Structure 1
Amino acid sequence: MGKEPTECLPESFPHAPGSWRFSATGSISTTSGSASSARASKRQQRRRCSSGSIRRLRRTGSRARTRRRDGEWPGCSASLKRAMPPSPRWQGCNHHALFCTSVLGRTSDRTSSRRRRGMVGRSCGPSLRKVFPEQFRPLESWKRRHGGRSMSMQDYHAFIASKGIAASSHGFAPQALPERLFTHQRTAVEFALGKGRAALFLDTGLGKSGCEAVFADEARRETNRPALILTPLAVARQMQRECEAFGVEARVIREDADVFPGVNIANYERLGKLDVTRFGAVVLDESSILKSFMGSTKCQLVEAFAQTPYRLAATATPAPNDHMELGTHSEFLGAMGPMEMLCRWFINDTSTASQEWRLKGHAVGDFWSWVSSWARAASLPSDLGGDDAGFILPPLVHQIHKVGVDIMDGAQDGMLFRIPDNSATAIHAEKQRTLVERVACAAEIANADTGYVIVWCERDDESAALTAAIPDAIELHGKLKPQEKEAVLEAFTLGERRVIVAKPKMAGFGLNWQHARTQVFASISHSYERYYQAIRRSWRFGQTEQVTAHIVIAETEHGIWRDIQRKAADHDKMKRAMSEAMRGAQITAHKRAYTRSADVTLPAFLGGIA
């Protein structure tokens, strides 16, 4: 380090009192400074110094000006260096960098920063290494650690790999996992326990619940502290049955007094009544609840479990329409914040004035490699080295039922027909106009079927009308207490009631209803995630019959169905891209070292040669 700035600054420096000027020989002289001498000195300064450097100093703000004077951003040209040659008093001082020739002042901020860090060291001359020796310390320290030899290309790749951003491991190797696990489940659980904080994006029906139960039980044994599984409403009892199937002792709890040393299961609504510091592991079932970047639930979960040693997030639909949900999962697991993820791999195309972020073309491989360092994704068991036999689902058939309505009713002035737009007000108004026709069509379909039927709707008035039109239907609505909602869902799950009328946002996540092969959508919204999750309640692993989805829409609602189809295509495309991009990393993680010794048989004519 050089001298302190107060010790090495001459009086002629711009921060010092008085004025400064140049002699004919280029030496520096100072004066106490009258107004006339100061003006003459400034004129001489402009002639002697690089005008471009001076203008550059004046154009920048106070912060940039201070940085250049302090030597942090040398931007002065060779002419200024010649005009103000360094004296012995200035040698070793950081301010001497102000008068040094440097390519940094002529490049962009990004290139300057990279060169300062030594990332573009080959283009920096010896003089720059002398001016900024601390910026080249990583390479110099590497030489010292390796006996002074130069860095080879292999060493360089290893050095760059050490600077990677892959999520670190905080877990352990499990000793014995239940035999009931399928191969792909075992692979997923081993990865999650080895990382300690991981996400499992397994499609519906691939056994996420079993993976969650085993993860929680193994983490409980490792930490000797209770484990917690958070589930959507009415999924807690189903999760308890899954735990029992894998030999895991689990209980459904409602408050902190119910916590016991094993695996505890609670609804997300009960989180505020629990002391989360007691748990050594937490599992989020249907973790798509984290998708809202600034949502209160997401913020509460991230803050509550920031210090929990073992964390697992499991969902079947990560980011069906965008990548932000991956960022919120990463934040919950402590790998990286969503804004840092966006700034590193994504770009916001401001030309369209939208808030959508798209993945940079050159960053695709690096991004998915980073995701694969803390997550595993699979659409089929073969994606994780398993067997697809028994997991190929039966066909899914869509039947569209168009309901005729009076399209002249409510037409705007000058318009012959009513053409509703996609605003929320227009959509709700249109559903109100077509309610009677859609309810009648949906009730007719449900009453004609003799098996179990799921009827989906979007509004309270639709739900009440459908329940009245279907004699043996049970209704799930928001006015019920939590215990009553659980009783309604249990009644249909156990086959006690033939038809259930519900909204996808209340009963569309986490439930296994393979006994129902008919679904009726009396109303549909623009949310593809709700539609996908609703379909997957019965069209999932364990379903042996064809599943039929009846879509009831008015003639004026074709735009909603087209939007759902477009989002479905985008979702399938993203899932394929995600699986393909992560497959390489997932396969690499399961490679075994080849240790077989080489057997060489010499030909007969070489047998006597020593």
Structure 2
Amino acid sequence: MARPGQRRNGARRTAPRNQRRVRDGDVIAELARAVREVEAAVQRGRVTPAVRTQFQAIALLMREEHARARAGEGSDARRTEQLKRLDGIATILARTAVRDSGLLALLSEDAVVSDAARSLTREMLRAVGIEPAPEELPPAEPAAVPAVPERRVVPQSVVSRQLANPFLAPDFSSAPQRPVRPRRLAGWELLGPLLSSFERAGAGAPACMPLPAPSDRFTPMGSELMPHQGRLVAAAAAGHRTFLLADEPGLGKTAQALLAAEAADAYPLLVVVPNVVKTNWAREAGRWTPHRSATVVQGNGDTIDGFADIVVVNYEVLDRHVGWLGEFGFRGMVVDEAHFIKNKSSQRSQHVLELSDRIRFRTARPLLMALTGTPLINDIDDFRAIWQFLGWIDETKPLGELMEALEDTGLTPADPGFYAAARTCVIDLGIVRRRKVDVAADIPARRIADLPVELDGPAGRSIRAAERELARRMVARYETVLAHRSSDAVVEGIDHDVVRRVARAELKDATAGEAGENVFSMMRRIGRAKAGLAADYAAQLARSAGKVVFFAKHVDVMDAAEELFARQGVRFSSIRGDQTPTSRQKNIDAFVNDPDVAVAVCSLTAAGVGLNLQVASNIVLAELSWTDAEQTQAIDRSHRIGQTEPVTAWRIIAAQTIDARIAELIDSKAGLAARALDGSDDEVSSSADVQLQALVALLTDALSASPQPAAGSPVGH
């Protein structure tokens, strides 16, 4: 074996590190070959642990070679050529990483370097005739540094809750310990076979635990569960406490989770969600569990209710709240879009697992639910983190009920029947998977699901300020009209006739382009602010449920969405009004026929008619139409003859803005249009009616929020 720093080809000694030109070329060529292997594997959808190890080893060696090339001696031209080749490898790495969040995390400077990756870097060096010197080996990863205490917060409301009443102290009773019995499977490696049992499952193998007859016992008055939803709630009422709820999007996982918590009396309940659905969870809690108080953690949590039954927090701020959340005494925990935690080295995954451990340690039989629309067989290794969250496994072995169930099979991984039996053991622990096509009789053939989102940051503040300015301008015009009318025309309170006149004048000015901030510019700004959130949700749908149609009104909203899809590695087709017929049809065909094209980004006006996009059953409406007819035409691109699945249109609505008011008006006009088509004398409304009534509502709200002058009194003085 060659000594460190010596080549195997017989050369007596290499040049100093910064002069190893032959080595540099050899290593870069080896990196180029390896990165193409990884890229091809990821494109085939096979992101196995071995692929991740190879990916990280390439990243480590690339950084080392990049630093050596920059510091190396020799001509500038040679150094430039080396850096150019390394940049090409880096580009392929980045392009590959955006297809899988687990790979993306490995590019982070603070990513944990596995022993396997360090070993592979040495093998790659030896493959090109280099015996790595000890100082050349990638440094060992330092011990994990705990979260910096200064970043964590404890909201004052939580402190008040802890001090208010000793009877509010959490139940820290431990779960009863199972009697120890001889382990027939002791010494067997079981996690690999358990995961493999899902990959080996043949067509028609069950993917859902047995569920009891549906129950509506916990459904509030005025609401109705679909039968498939009621079955899961009945399972929770019967005592089941862990669920991997993997229903396809649109089948009501949120309602099932909330009512399962009610059936299990799992309060206080912690709900961890992506930011884009945080507001929707609070709204759904008010609908399905109206007698339970819910609070949403924003930022440092200054506005939360420490006495709430349901605490909703998004992944992005979990790091600063994990301390007090672990001491809160939760008896249940729901993780929405649970595939977000599949990379166990990520901070959010570690925080979720930490909270799950603390809840299980302190609470007897807590309710734990992981919600994800991702199909069960994707990269099955991703389920390690989810199973660990649910308490089915730890880092190395099955736990508790799962281990008991495996023992009861009487089989070992050496037995042919082990894999089918092991898969059943896992499913019976709480895997619930239903597809739209499986429960088509339960759900409408076409439905609209509103997804309210909060517009945070400067864009949200600017929009709310502009909305207030628009309201102030109309209030000033309203007061001017009152000041100049005769005394015998005075109306007690708000004069709704004047309100409509002012709104018409404002709409006329806006249409003529004479007004400043108006209803049209407001909606466009709101559309731009929602673009990233809407596109992110569409990307989640595409990963979990297949093809998605994304509709927007404005070109800049489409542009922003397409930029996000490109960054996330989501392939898309763009269908716009300015395309030639040939280009347009080419993009339509790509979405319909290419399984890798996941999203069609469509102009609401240009693509809302004349297209057949029934290959998708999920639609994202990033911007609102002015009429229900325009909205319906867009949905009907997928909801048409030949569609085999119920169609769900996800309408993204900016909460607490004029956007929400317009959504309500469109829905009310839809009912009016339906009555008109059925023979009513009512007139079908136009888009101008919605615009006018939105301004009427905005002005009425502003006048209601301020004291009105007494009848006959002067105004504005």
TM-score for the superposition, normalised by structure 2? 0.32
Give the number of the structure with larger relative contact order, counting CA–CA contacts within 8 Å between residues 6 or more apart.
Answer: 2
TM-score for the superposition, normalised by structure 1? 0.37
Work out which of the two has the higher radius of gyration on C-alpha atoms and give 1 or 2.
1
Give the structure with the larger strand fraction.
1
